[in-house]
């Protein structure tokens, strides 16, 4: 490491001059890049180097020598430990500005697209927006705690006052900690593979206030009886559905295949705009419904449907975007790999009395190949893939179908930019890029890209 401009455990002073796509500040020592979490553009900082690689280093903020006027005091008492809301130190309007810049930088650097993104769509109140939380467990001084792991560790940070969740969820977290401790519930240890209760998932409907609880266990037996469940429902009347998920895997897998209804309803119901959605224990659903509505309305605006179009919604999940577009299009086809999600899509379709949708199970690229053989025209293609983005086969088949418009939704800018580069080299122009702040106070960015065939 002697040939590097920085040395491990040494302190350096420099100015933050840009951001990474993960929201870290970037400074330079003799033109050598140093990533520093918790910093803001144009701040002069003193940093201790904690990691040195071939082309960059990582540093820990030791002192802010010259502070940004947009630096704020984080509201969360465990902000410096948790790492989840890693932008709380930045005033919210500057968070939105930063995210717009990160989108533009990724599209330019990776996608070769010199485009000015639209201002990021933010929230009026960027707190308490999450409708789902996966809580880990630990025992501290004999008491069970629910919380989240520190970054790159299995050290638990308590979360009973997390400001991303409603006050109802925070009260429920504290209640569960007390009751599970009282009943001496066995907590699963990922290192020794001993214990039973692996985690708890809480889902909350923002439209009805209903709450679903899922206890994730290693074993089929759970030391929770009818008295516990009756008291839970009595003390928290919003709790209308309680499940157990059995996950016997020794690997770091979130859920097992088997769900057991312990108490109450089989599902809860939420809404995005005027549309209703059924949420089962295994359902994927947008964690921020107000921002999901903003995103979907922007998709409808960009598509500008006349009522005569055929739309394909690939990677459609539980059909939320498909349902939003169905009222404006002639027909919508939703493609999804997960069978459970497709079942939920059909349920949501019925729930909203829509008849011009069809959903199909399977790999999107394989299904599109069959569509190509049928030679049917498609006016609009929606692509909302997982973080890894689209396979080359998926992109090739999309191009062969020749949709007039592609609406690409992504939560991972590097793969979005990569795929846009390929599409713009094969018959499409990128016209608009719209960041949507789906996860305020965090570095995560959702982006809608609007491409048209030339």
Q: What is the reported pLDDT for 2?
A: 60
Mean pLDDT of the chain: 95
Cβ proximity of 397 and 369 under 8 Å: yes
Residues 437 and 337 in one domain: yes
In this structure, what CATH number is given to the domain that contains residue 137? 2.40.50.1070
Using the predicted structure, report yes or no on whether residue 1 has a pLDDT greater than 70: no
8 Å CB contact between 273 and 297:
yes
pLDDT digits (tens, 9 = 90+) for 245-271: 999 988 878 899 999 999 999 999 999
Q: What is the mean pLDDT of residues 361-382?
A: 91
Asked whether the predicted pLDDT for residue 223 surpasses 90, the reply is no
Supply the CATH number for residue 7's domain: 2.40.50.140
Predicted confidence band of residue 380 (pLDDT cuts 50, 70, 90):
very high
Give the pLDDT confidence score for residue 159 in this predicted structure.
Answer: 87
Are residues 26 and 168 both part of a single domain? no
Based on the fold, state whether residues 113 and 141 are members of the same structural domain.
Answer: no
240 and 298 together in one domain: no
Among 242, 272, 302, residue at a domain's last position:
272
| pLDDT digits 0-9 by tens, 394-406 | 999 999 999 999 9
Catalytic residue among 82, 162, 411, 447: 411
Same domain, 112 and 137: no
Containing structural domain, residue 21: 1-71
Answer left, alpha or beta for residue 197, where phi above 0 means left and psi between -120 and 50 means alpha.
Answer: beta
Give residue-wise pLDDT tens across range 310-340. 999 999 999 999 999 999 999 999 999 999 8
411 is catalytic: yes
> The pTM is what?
0.94
Question: 35 near 57, Cβ under 8 Å?
Answer: yes
pLDDT over 80 at 68, yes or no = yes
pLDDT of 20 reads 94
**Alpha-carbon span 447 to 141, nearest angstrom:** 44
Say whether both 348 and 440 belong to one domain: yes
Arithmetic mean of pLDDT, 130-146: 95
Rounded Cα distance between 202 and 135, Å, is: 8
Contacts of 215 (CB under 8 A, 6+ apart): 197, 200, 222, 224, 242, 243, 244, 245, 262
User: Do 112 and 138 sit in the same domain of this protein?
Assistant: no
- Report d(CA 95, CA 97) in Å as an integer: 5
In a shared domain, residues 49 and 181 = no
- Cα torsion 221, 222, 223, 227 to 10°: value is -110
Do 13 and 106 belong together in one domain?
A: no
Distance CA 220, CA 206 (A): 31
What are 149-176's pLDDT values in tens digits?
A: 998 888 999 987 899 999 999 999 999 9
Task: Indicate whether 304 and 347 sit together in one domain.
Answer: yes
Same domain, 18 and 116: no
Domain count, the chain: 3
Task: Tokens for 35, please give them.
Answer: 């990533």
Q: Return the CATH number at 445.
A: 3.40.50.150
Q: How far apart are CA 74 and CA 88, in angstroms?
A: 5
């Amino acid at each position: 490491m002697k040939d590097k401009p920085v040395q491990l455990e040494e302190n350096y002073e420099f100015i933050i001059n840009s951001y990474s796509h993960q929201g870290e500040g970037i400074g330079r020592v003799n033109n050598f890049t140093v990533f520093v979490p918790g910093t803001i553009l144009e701040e002069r900082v003193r940093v201790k180097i904690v990691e040195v690689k071939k082309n960059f280093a990582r540093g820990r903020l030791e002192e802010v020598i010259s502070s940004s006027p947009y630096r704020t005091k984080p509201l969360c008492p465990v902000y410096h430990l948790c790492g989840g809301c890693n932008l709380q130190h930045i005033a919210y309007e500057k968070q939105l500005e930063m995210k717009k810049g990160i989108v533009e930088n990724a599209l330019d650097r990776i996608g070769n697209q010199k485009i000015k993104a639209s201002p990021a769509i933010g929230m009026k109140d960027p707190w308490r927006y999450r409708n789902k939380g996966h809580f880990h467990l630990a025992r501290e001084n004999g008491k069970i705690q629910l919380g989240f792991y520190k970054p790159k560790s299995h050290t638990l940070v308590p979360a009973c006052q997390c400001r991303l969740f409603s006050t109802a969820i925070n009260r429920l977290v504290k209640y569960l900690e007390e009751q599970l401790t009282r009943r001496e519930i066995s907590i699963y240890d990922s290192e020794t593979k001993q214990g039973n209760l692996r985690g708890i998932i809480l889902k909350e409907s923002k439209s009805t206030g209903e709450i679903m609880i899922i206890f994730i266990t290693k074993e089929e037996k759970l030391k929770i009886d009818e008295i516990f469940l009756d008291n839970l429902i009595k003390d928290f009347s919003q709790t209308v559905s309680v499940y157990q998920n059995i996950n016997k895997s020794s690997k770091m897998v979130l859920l097992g295949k088997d769900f057991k209804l312990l108490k109450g309803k089989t599902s809860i119901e939420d809404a995005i705009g005027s549309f209703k959605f059924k949420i089962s224990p295994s359902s994927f659903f947008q964690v921020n419904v107000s921002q999901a509505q903003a995103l979907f309305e922007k998709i409808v605006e960009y598509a500008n449907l006349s009522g005569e179009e055929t739309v394909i919604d690939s990677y459609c999940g539980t059909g939320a975007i498909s349902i939003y577009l169905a009222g404006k299009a002639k027909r919508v086809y939703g493609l999804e790999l997960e069978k459970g999600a497709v079942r939920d899509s059909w349920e949501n379709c019925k729930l909203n009395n829509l008849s011009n949708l069809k959903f199909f199970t399977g790999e999107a690229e394989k299904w599109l190949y069959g569509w190509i053989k049928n030679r049917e025209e498609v006016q609009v293609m929606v692509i909302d893939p997982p973080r890894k983005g689209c396979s080359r086969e998926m992109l090739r088949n999309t191009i062969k179908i020749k949709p007039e418009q592609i609406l690409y939704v992504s939560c991972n800018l590097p793969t979005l930019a990569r795929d846009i580069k390929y599409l713009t080299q094969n018959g499409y122009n990128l016209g608009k890029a719209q960041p949507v702040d789906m996860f305020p106070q965090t570095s995560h960015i959702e982006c809608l890209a609007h491409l048209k065939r030339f």
